[in-house]
Amino acid sequence: MNTGKQGRDLIKQFEGYRSTSYLCPAGVWTIGYGHTKGVTAGQYCTRADAERFLSEDLQTAENTLNRFAETNDLVLRQCQFDALVSFIFNVGTGNWSKSTLRKLVAADPGDPYIRYQFSRWVYGGGKELPGLVRRRKAEADLYFKEPT
C-alpha cells in the first residue's frame, strides 16, 4: 500500500513547510515537511525539494508498515494505513517497532484501545507538546474513520 491523499495532507498539515532548516522541539535539524535525514544548520529547500523529501521519507514508513502488515497477515483500510504511516513518519521506525500501539494493531486492528495508544505519544524533548496532542487525535480519528 501507499499513503493516500488524506495521509499526506495530515502529515503536511502538522509538519508544515519550512524552507530553511530549524531545530525541532526534540533538538533535531529539520527542513521541508519534517525531513531530518542529513539536515544541518543553514540549509534551504524549495517546495519541490520538500515534496521529494516527503515522498522519500514516506517510502521508509510505508515499507515498514507494509512488512508489518504482511508479517502479521493484516489487511488495513486506507485510513488505518495513512494514520499509521503518519505516526511512524513522526516517531520513527524504531519507536514504532517497540510500541504498544504496534502490538495492539497486530493483535486486532479494530481494538478501540488503539485510540488511547496514539494519545500516549505526545512528548518532545521531555515535554507534552500541544501540536503532538492535536496530531495524535487527528491520527486516531483518521485511523477509526468509518468507511464511506
Which residue among the candidates 15, 56, 62, 128 is catalytic per the annotation? Answer: 15
146 is catalytic: no
Query: 20, 46, 16: which is closest to 31 by C-alpha?
Result: 20
Structure confidence by residue, pLDDT tens digits, 84-103: 999 999 999 999 999 999 99
β-partners of residue 29 are 23
1-44 pLDDT, tens digit each: 999 999 999 999 999 999 999 998 778 899 999 999 999 999 99
User: What pLDDT does residue 124 have?
Assistant: 81
Backbone phi and psi for residue 127, each to the nearest 5 degrees, phi listed first: -120, 145
Q: Cell numbers 488511547 correspond to what residue? A: 116
144: pLDDT strictly greater than 80 = yes
Q: Alpha-carbon Rg of the chain, whole angstroms?
A: 15
pLDDT at 131: 92
